[in-house]
């Protein structure tokens, strides 16, 4: 039975992943913004087989309480084996083109808040000399594109930060897993029309869960995004800047 | 996923979707916009009760959380978007089962209540709504009512079988039934005529909890009404976790060519009717293959091509049943249509709390037809006449074409239901069947 800290527990992908932990009988500490929604998720996980389930409220911008939340989770669970971070916002790129405040908010929530939280968790895991820190980044962070570069650059920061952390913690027995989902059909992407490349939160959750349990450093979900992004990354910039991506 | 269709894929409708993911949230789109909404579950009803052309679909599948499972008393409480499949996977390993299951486990709890579905045990258990002690109803104005037989009982009755029109079922409680094991012990009995079916049905309903028959709708003359009778009981065999009932094949990628026609149906029926040589065959199977044989084929509705499919399901009182069923089978067989899966079952007399609930004591029959436009419609209209003359009724959850006159004659309670309907909720079906000056 694992002790799992989940931050951003009311997002569709993260909740679907939490259900997989619950069905293994793991104990779970849920962090999110809405008390009533956390209670709904928590009760559901309990019915699905979770051991202990605790909750705490945290706003993304409440930097002062991040360390305290990690401590509370650790004392509730009696330690932490896995931490999964998966909150974020998807700003409208076109609006962001001329709205610096929106850019700042997207960066704050998606990048700054996330990497600060990772700092606290890294310290915790390093002290324990064990644990897995998983963070949901995005394929959008692999290359800047006109259609989504505000979100993408924040996710790039998360991916890079996770990469550095992984190298730093490798010798301490701490794993850092960067998860890069492609298009996922969630409330965050409700307004997009969906094509063949879109995946369900449940299928992405399965991949996240299995890569947290079984190993893996940088994990694309679904798997085929690894090859799509390999191609996207090798296109020369001179050509890339003219592509309608 | 962005396209919303009913299971029969006819009619097609254009509608925007709003996802309802949290039972604590209000229905924002109906508060902010001047359009009508309709709760949508998993799109397994056949016609247009789940469609809202030109309006908003309130997609409830995100409300899929369990709230409480009392393993001792066998009561489960969960959100309206939870699939029956998920409930079975949760409760079966603990020795419990859903009190009523339809022919597919891919329906939501909210949809099961709103259509007041029935199953192979109707003669014992009644409808799904008979086993729902309470639920919460959320209205477009944000008001909430916990409905049960003792509190808000009028809303309770209007919502069970209320086709989603009274509001959104955010959560509901189900009284489960205890089972000795996960397997079903049953028999398949061959019958050669309708009168044999009626005898078998009477006899079987006494000793079997689950009964249903398949009929060869293309057989005529002396073979009219031949088929196979399935009957079974829960058995003490099989324990522990239910196996994952994954789809074995999926037809989602099927070309848009209709594969169901008279020739293919004739071949299928002939093979199926001869499936068993012996008059009676004993079977022991997991609950999945017994209750949900079609779930093994994902997207089987695509066999009917882009025109879609029409299922005709009616119930007629016991006395007239033989005449109406044989009359309809005869017409179907002699028409140019290709009646495919045809199912017969005797309903019991346990009343449902639902105001507009479909089942009545008597015989129900369901026939699938490929939609070939006008000729199919005319054939089904001619069935309406037989059913109405016998005092029978047609199942809204399967319907895509009955006239307002026929509906209002079948369900005189409809005007009472409309006084409970949410002013901001409507469906393609409801507009079609209430479109008549009174």
- Using one digit for the tens of pLDDT, what is the confidence trace for A226-240? 999 999 999 999 999
Residues of B within 8 A of A12 (CB-CB) are: 21, 62
How many inter-chain contacts (A to B, CB under 8 Å) are there? Answer: 39
| Residue B269 confidence class, pLDDT cut points 50, 70, 90 | confident
Judged by CB atoms closer than 8 Å, whether chains meet at B90 and A47 is answered as yes
Interface of A with B (CB under 8 A): 12, 36-37, 40-41, 43-44, 47-48, 185, 187, 190, 193-194, 198, 200
Cα atoms in the 13 Å half-sphere on the side-chain side of A92: 7
Spell out the residues 6+ positions from residue A22 whose beta carbon is closer than 8 angstroms to its own. A28, A44, A45, A46, A48, A49, A50
User: Which residue in chain A has the smallest CA separation from B21?
Assistant: A187
Q: What is the ipTM of this complex?
A: 0.94
Q: How confident is the model at residue B437 (pLDDT cuts 50, 70, 90)?
A: very low
* Closest Cα in chain A to B86: A48
**Rounded (5°) CA angle A194-A196-A199:** 75
Q: Do B21 and A187 touch (CB under 8 A)?
A: yes
Cβ–Cβ gap B65/A44 under 8 Å: yes
pLDDT for B1:
40
Q: What share of chain B is helix, strand, coil (3-state, %, to 5)?
A: 30, 25, 45
B90 contacts in A (CB within 8 Å)? Answer: 47-48
Closest in A40, A48, A185 to B1, CB measured: A185
Residue A40 to residue B22, Cβ atoms within 8 A:
yes
Task: Specify the pLDDT at position B241.
Answer: 53
Q: What is the mean pLDDT of chain B?
A: 93
Sheet of B135-138, strand order = B66-70, B75-79, B168-175, B135-138, B144-147
What pLDDT shows up at residue B242? 53
> What pLDDT band is residue B438 in, cutting at 50, 70 and 90?
very low
For B379-428, what is each residue's pLDDT tens digit?
Answer: 999 999 999 999 999 999 999 999 999 999 999 999 999 999 999 999 99
For B136-141, what is the mean pLDDT?
Answer: 97
Domains of chain A: 3-240 (3.40.50.720)
Residue A245 structure tokens = 């991506």
Does A187 sit within 8 Å of B65, measured CB to CB?
Answer: no
pLDDT in tens, B213-236: 999 999 888 888 999 999 999 999
DSSP assignment of B260-291 equals: -SHHHHHHHHHHHHTS-SSSEEEEEEEHHHHH
Beta-carbon separation of B65 and A43 below 8 A = yes
* Residue in chain B nearest A37 by alpha carbon: B22
In this prediction, residues B334-363 reach a mean pLDDT of 95
pLDDT at A215: 84
Q: Is B246's Cβ below 8 Å from some Cβ in A?
A: no
Residue contact A48–B2, C-beta within 8 A: no
Q: Is B9 a residue whose pLDDT tops 90?
A: yes
Share of chain B above pLDDT 90, in %: 80
Inspect the interface and report whether the beta carbons of B67 and A47 lie closer than 8 Å.
yes
B71 near B90, Cβ under 8 Å?
no
Does A87 participate in catalysis according to the annotation? no
Q: Which residue of chain A is at minimal alpha-carbon distance from B68?
A: A47
* Alpha-carbon distances, residue A37 vs A52, A56, A240, B263 (angstroms): 18, 11, 42, 54
Q: What number of other Cβ atoms are within 10 A of residue B222's Cβ?
A: 9
Percent of chain A with pLDDT over 70: 100
Catalytic residue selected from A87, A149, A151, A220:
A151
pLDDT digits (tens, 9 = 90+) for B298-329: 889 999 988 999 999 999 999 999 999 999 99
pLDDT tens, position by position, A161-208: 999 999 999 999 999 999 999 999 998 888 888 888 999 999 999 999
**Chain B residues with CB-CB distance to A187 below 8 A:** 19, 21, 62
Domains in chain B, CATH or no CATH each: 183-400 (3.40.462.10)
User: What three-state secondary structure class fits B29?
Assistant: helix
pLDDT bucket at B256, cuts 50 / 70 / 90: low
* Model pLDDT, residue B220: 85
Beta-strand ranges (E) seen in B14-83 are 16-19, 37-40, 56-59, 66-70, 75-79
Instruction: Check if B207 contacts A (Cβ < 8 Å).
Output: no
What are the CA-CA distances from residue B135 to residues B1, B79, B372, B419 (Å)? 28, 9, 40, 20
Two tokens at A85?
Answer: 């971070």
Cβ within 8 Å, pair B62-A43: no
Q: How close, in Å, is residue A47 to chain B by CA atoms?
A: 6
Give the residues of chain A that fall short of pLDDT 50.
none
d(CA B384, CA B358): 15
Q: What percent of chain B has pLDDT over 70?
A: 96
With an 8 Å Cβ cutoff, is B272 touching chain A?
A: no
Q: Which residues contact B271 (CB under 8 A, 6 or more apart)?
A: none
| Tokens matching residue B298 | 């994902």
């Amino acid at each position: 039975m694992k002790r799992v800290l989940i931050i951003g527990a009311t997002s569709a992908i993260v909740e679907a992943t939490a259900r997989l932990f619950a069905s293994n009988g793991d104990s779970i500490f849920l962090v999110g913004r809405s008390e009533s929604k956390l209670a709904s998720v928590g009760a559901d996980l309990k019915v699905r087989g979770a051991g202990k389930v605790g909750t705490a409220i945290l706003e993304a911008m409440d930097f002062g309480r991040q360390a305290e939340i990690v401590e509370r989770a650790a004392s509730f669970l009696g330690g932490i084996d896995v931490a999964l971070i998966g909150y974020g916002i998807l700003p409208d790129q076109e609006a962001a083109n001329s709205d610096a405040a929106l850019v700042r908010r997207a960066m704050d929530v998606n990048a700054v808040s996330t990497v600060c939280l990772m700092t606290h968790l890294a310290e915790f895991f390093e002290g324990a000399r064990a644990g897995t820190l998983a963070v949901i980044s995005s394929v959008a962070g692999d290359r800047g594109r006109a259609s989504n570069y505000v979100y993408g650059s924040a996710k790039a920061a998360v991916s890079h930060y996770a990469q550095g952390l992984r190298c730093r913690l490798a010798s301490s027995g701490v794993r850092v897993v960067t998860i890069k989902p492609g298009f996922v059909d969630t409330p965050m992407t409700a307004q997009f029309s969906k094509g063949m490349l879109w995946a369900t939160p449940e299928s992405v959750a399965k991949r996240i869960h299995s890569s947290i349990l079984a190993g893996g450093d940088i994990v694309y979900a679904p798997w085929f995004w690894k090859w799509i992004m390999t191609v996207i990354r090798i296109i020369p910039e001179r050509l890339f800047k003219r592509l309608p991506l | 996923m962005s396209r919303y269709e009913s299971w029969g894929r006819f009619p097609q409708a254009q509608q925007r979707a709003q996802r309802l993911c949290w039972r604590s949230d209000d229905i924002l789109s109906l508060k902010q916009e001047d359009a009508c909404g309709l709760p949508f579950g998993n799109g397994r009803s056949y016609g247009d009760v789940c469609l809202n052309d030109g309006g908003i679909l309130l997609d409830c599948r995100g409300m899929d959380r369990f709230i409480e499972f009392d393993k001792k008393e066998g009561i489960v409480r969960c959100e309206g978007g939870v699939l029956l499949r998920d409930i079975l996977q949760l409760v079966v390993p603990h020795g419990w089962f859903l009190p009523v299951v339809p022919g597919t486990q891919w329906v939501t709890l909210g949809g099961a209540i709103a259509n007041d579905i029935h199953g192979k045990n109707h003669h014992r258990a009644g409808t799904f709504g008979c086993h729902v002690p309470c639920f919460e109803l959320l209205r477009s104005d944000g008001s909430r009512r916990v409905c049960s037989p003792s509190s808000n009982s009028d809303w309770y009755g209007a919502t069970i079988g209320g086709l989603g029109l009274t509001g959104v079922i955010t959560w509901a409680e189900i009284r489960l039934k205890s089972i000795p094991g996960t397997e079903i012990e049953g028999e398949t009995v061959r019958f050669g005529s309708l009168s044999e079916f009626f005898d078998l049905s009477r006899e079987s309903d006494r000793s079997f909890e689950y009964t249903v028959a398949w009929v060869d709708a293309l057989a005529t003359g002396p073979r009219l009404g031949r088929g196979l009778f399935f009957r079974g009981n829960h058995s003490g065999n099989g324990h522990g976790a239910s196996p994952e009932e994954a789809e074995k094949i999926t037809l989602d990628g099927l070309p848009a060519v209709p594969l169901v026609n008279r020739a293919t149906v004739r071949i299928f029926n002939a093979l199926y009717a001869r499936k068993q040589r012996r008059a009676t065959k004993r079977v022991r199977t997991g609950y999945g293959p017994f209750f949900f044989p079609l779930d093994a084929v994902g997207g089987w509705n695509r066999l009917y091509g882009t025109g879609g499919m029409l299922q005709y399901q009616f119930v007629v009182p016991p006395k007239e049943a033989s005449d109406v069923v044989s009359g309809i089978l005869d017409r179907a067989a002699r028409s140019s249509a290709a009646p495919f899966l045809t199912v017969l079952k005797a309903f019991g007399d346990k009343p449902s709390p639902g105001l507009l609930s479909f089942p009545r004591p008597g015989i129900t029959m369901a026939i699938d037809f490929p939609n070939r436009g006008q000729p199919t419609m005319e054939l089904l209209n001619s069935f309406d006449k037989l059913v109405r003359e016998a005092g029978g009724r047609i199942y809204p959850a399967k319907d895509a074409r009955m006239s307002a006159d026929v509906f209002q004659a079948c369900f005189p309670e409809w005007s009472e239901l409309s006084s409970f309907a949410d002013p901001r909720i409507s469906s393609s079906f409801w507009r079609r069947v209430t479109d008549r000056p009174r």
